Amino acid sequence: SSGRALPDDVQDLLPPGTTLGNYRIDEVLGVGGIGEIYLAEHTLLGRKVALKRLRAEYGRSRAVVSRFFDEARAANQIAHENIVEITDFVEDPADGAYLIMEVLRGEDLGMLLERERALPAERTVAIMRQVASGLAAAHRVGVVHRDLKPDNVFLIERGGRADFVKLLDFGVAKLGDDVRTKSAHKTAAGTVLGTPAYMSPEQALGRGVDARTDVYALGVMLYELLTGTLPFRG
């Protein structure tokens, strides 16, 4: 939950009180390109969770559903404190496909940049060291994020510590063969996924990418945090 306003044209959102499996919807937290995130509660345990649901129009595509669940597999393979925890994923004929994640209260780095324009060097380093630590853990198990950007870096308070980083949205991640068996659902060569301003040239051209594409995006973010501008405008 970051407090970002929801789009006015969003339709078919689940109303409060709707039940999906063992979870009851409390409120809408956010809406993304292919899914929605809700605050929900486990009906038996009373535990609050974030429920990320794939929109119905995308749920009919096996490739999209597979990539959606790759987010859960990738995060669970990494198991790092700076990466959002995903505890379950469900595909149900009636309810659709959804993930269960830890609830985060705070704001993403994109919102912070909108407000502050640029950050002091000390704060920037403290944030980006955590981003780098999470990425290093991902790369060690063969996971490349492929869409690292300020909107996917969430800042919370934990144990009295401000600016505790949680990396989000490994939904376009490409897993190495050492963490899963070969699958026809892997991102195909030549497919371009990501956000242009933070995308390495190799990724933008649809070529095969590795961990270095995340390092490139990290460098772009570091430059932006310190200067308030992107290194490349084209």
The residues assigned a catalytic role are 147
Q: Please give the single-letter amino acid code of residue 202.
A: E
Q: What Rg do the C-alpha atoms of the chain give, in angstroms?
A: 18
Are the beta carbons of 22 and 4 closer than 8 angstroms?
A: no
Residue 99's nearest CA partner among 23, 6, 13 is 23
Reduced to 3 states (helix: H, G, I; strand: E, B; else coil), residue 86 is strand
> Rounded CA gap, 215 and 36, in Å?
28
> Rounded CA gap, 189 and 212, in Å?
17
With 0-12 / 13-18 / 19 or more C-beta atoms within 10 angstroms meaning exposed / middle / buried, residue 135 is: buried
Residues 172, 216, 200, 222, CA torsion sign: positive
Beta carbons within 8 Å of 182's beta carbon, 6+ residues apart = none
Residue 87: left if φ>0, alpha if ψ -120 to 50, beta else—which one?
alpha
